[in-house]
A and B are shown apart, each in its own frame.
Chain A
Amino acid sequence: MRRLAAAVLLLLLAGGIARAVEPGERLADPALEARARAIGKELRCLVCQNESIDDSGADLAHDLRVLLRERLKAGDSDRQAIAYIVARYGQFVLLKPPVEPATYALWFGPPALLALAAIAIALRLRRRDTSAPPAPLSAEERRRLARLLDEGT
């Protein structure tokens, strides 16, 4: 609570003190290490505020980075390695929530809102448009007008 009560960035700053991704953790195989980095960016350090394990300096993040690399070294695919960690730490570890019924509102909310708002605006503009300039004369009206004008002259 005390940490939270501080200025806006404190929470975030408190976690990472320039220790993310230690040289000692790195895998010898650059391709494997690159995969580990990419996955690590999408996994959450559970004790931090919205920081990935790739960025965080927390001890837990270190443990997770090592665990992830062990799985990759053991031959796991990216998907398997992530599944392994999710099985142990829960969905909370995923910075990108999966698309499933519980998150439909999250993923489809913004596009749905955009569409609804756009339709609402379009309807309003159209309504105002038609109310603004009078409708053009019909063919019948135009004939009548011409007749009246003719009679006048």
Chain B
Amino acid sequence: MIVELGHFALILALLLAMVQASVPLLGAARRKAGWMTLGQSTAVAQFVLVSLAFAALINAYVTSDFSVANVAENSHSTKPLLYKITGVWGNHEGSMMLWVFILSLFGAAVAWFGDNLPPTLRARVLAVQGMIGTGFLLFILLTSDPFHRLVPAPLDGRGLNPVLQDPGLAFHPPFLYLGYVGFSVAFSFAVAALIEGRVDAAWARWVRPWTLAAWCALTVGIAMGSWWAYYTLGWGGWWFWDPVENASFMPWLVGTALLHSAIVVEKRDALKSWTILLAIVTFSLSLVGTFLVRSGVLTSVHAFAVDPARGTFILLLLLVAIGGSLALYAARAPRLKSGGIFAPISREGALVLNNLLLCTGCATVFLGTLYPLFSDAVGGPKLSVGFPFFNRTFVPLMVPVLIAVAIGPLLAWKRGDLAAALQRLWLALAGTVAAVLIGFYVTGGGPVLAVLGLGLAAWVLLAAAVEWAERIRLLRAPWRESWRRARSLPRAAHGMTLAHMGLAITVAGIAASAWQQERIEVVAPGGTLAIAGYVLHLDGMTKLPGADFTADRASITVTRGGETVTVMHPEKRFFPLQQMATAMTAIHTNLLADLYVALGDSDGKGGWTVRAYWKPLVPWIWIGAVAMAAGGLVSLSDRRWRIGVAARARAPRGARPAE
């Protein structure tokens, strides 16, 4: 009964989405206030209805209602409660439910927090959100119904893939989708602005917090996925240039470009049509990402035909959403007048360079991800495009990005002075040179590219620190004065410093992976294995029963110079239901390096394969990503996003501290 109510709520939500997609739009065109405000009530009602449907599905999982096909296929009565709930989005139908749930959440948020928007813009934004909602709700109801019943119901479910039985599933997909779907708001704002035919600084100020929020969520989501892979895979890889990863990385790259170009629109009234295009492309890539992961084209073009209805529907959806918005863009963008002019060497110029490189980087990832598909589709050779391609093409593009990210914030708007900026960065430059020299000395001339990578990280980190210190006149003015300046500095400025430093930390973590060490040996209880100055003693093995698995658990005492550092417990788990084994790795970190131990197979004679890795600076990859997202959040707390336009207009233009 609850399941049917959920299904019914979803159908009602679809009908409301159709109303939301049309009536406010007409209302905005005819200036009918009542029609326009309908967008808000439908958005909120849609959120309530989709929440009800989603709750009904979660309830079916929690109560193990195996008469629901989706539950029977993906859950099992013996599963821990956490995995019963997270299992909801561990499959196609459920993850699409999560998608529309988050979409309706964002729609309702625009309705709630959009009080300072002009009524016509708010109505149009909500209408576009309604269109997206209509498309995805139709997709779920027509091709991916999670509420389908089974008669007769099976006694028990097929269970969740053991690899997914991890707390990572509780956070990774929701954050990823918050990012993907969050960009839908930027998209709706862009399309609404094209319909209105007006883009100004106020528009940029409204659209930026939404973009920023989505970007933060996507950053966290990608980092979590990478960390999940790291501790699950058993050899400590954290990025594979896998198509599914690339699908989330592409919107991130263009979203980052969007975040930066929107600053130019806000401050200088320039790059307007470019920013609109970026907003459209960012969400389009989110859609393409969903399509790539959901349709099955990635494994092969032929997997597409396994479920043609689904694939064709998504393709149609993409065509309408991307084609429609781009057509609108082509028709309306030429009319957007660009305001501020600027010299190539200027803050704007640096942001254009950032956009150029990030977008080319995204195009490179796009090409590498889809090339095997193109090649196959046109009858060319069957190809693989793996990490060697991306390392040779994408990574070089990011080097100038890192060099420029240090200089850009020190350039003035309109016309900057590169020599003066570099002069102010002498300390960062000296620090970078020192870091490279020390790097070469310590590693004995070690991998040149990795040492240079560390140098780049030092450059970005120090430059961000120098820029921040100069703004608050640290050490040049009395402490009290610096403190006062730090407090009066806009939060967005602090956020930028933090985010850029986070980037540097991540880059350092990536570069340092060149020095990882590895030992893979068969070790019998009582035996030892030495790595990076540590000695691992395999004390013994125990068999442990788990909720729906049995585990072989190793007890490994780690010593360094005779002193015990820690005791590690890597496990090998066997899931009888799925006849699958997974490895639970044990990681000991001191934040400068990880000691990573995974258990392999038993040799049948009492010995076990032990894989030990020493990974310097690897935690920094995720610490940096968290710092980037935190920087975004700090910037999001800036008061200028909250105050109305009128208040802003009254404030003197020179309110920002001089740079």
Contacts and interface: CB of A to CB of B under 8 A. Distances in A.
A106 B599 contact: no
A18 B356 contact: no
Interface stretch (A4-12, A73-81, A144-152): A4-12
B543 interface: no
A136 interface: no
B234 A23 contact: no
A113 interface: yes
Interface in A1-31: 1-14, 16-24
Contacts of B368: 106
Interface stretch (B25-33, B85-93, B101-109): B85-93
A48 B535 CA distance: 34
Contacts of B388: 42, 95-96
Contact of B383 (A42, A97, A110): A97
B371 interface: yes
A135 interface: no
Contact of A92 (B360, B383, B392): B383
Contact of A121 (B234, B237, B352): B352
Contacts of B296: 1, 4
B520 A21 contact: yes
Interface centre among A12, A17, A102, A107 (most CB of B within 10 A): A17
Interface centre among A10, A50, A118 (most CB of B within 10 A): A50
A125 interface: yes
B161 A109 contact: no
B182 interface: no
A129 interface: yes
Contacts of A107: 389, 393
Given A8-B293, A12-B244, A55 B384 contact: no
A71 to B, nearest CB: 20
Contacts of A8: 172-173, 176, 225, 244-245, 247-248, 293
A71 B593 CA distance: 37
B307 interface: yes
A9 B228 contact: yes
A114 interface: yes
Contact of A114 (B73, B243, B389, B397): B397
Interface string A92-122: 1111110000110111011101100110011
Nearest to B380: A102
A19 B520 CA distance: 10
A7 B242 CA distance: 14
Nearest to B609: A23
B444 to A, nearest CB: 18
B481 interface: no
Interface string B552-572: 000000000000000000001
Interface string A57-98: 100000000000000000000000000000000111111110
A45 to B, nearest CB: 10
Nearest to B341: A132
B22 to A, nearest CB: 32
A10 B360 contact: no
Interface of B: 73, 89-92, 95, 161, 163-164, 168-169, 172-173, 176, 225, 228-229, 232-235, 237, 240-245, 247-248, 293-294, 296, 298-299, 303, 306-307, 341, 343-344, 349, 352, 356-357, 359-360, 363-364, 367-368, 371, 375, 380-389, 392-394, 397, 520-522, 572, 580-583, 585, 598-601, 603, 609, 611
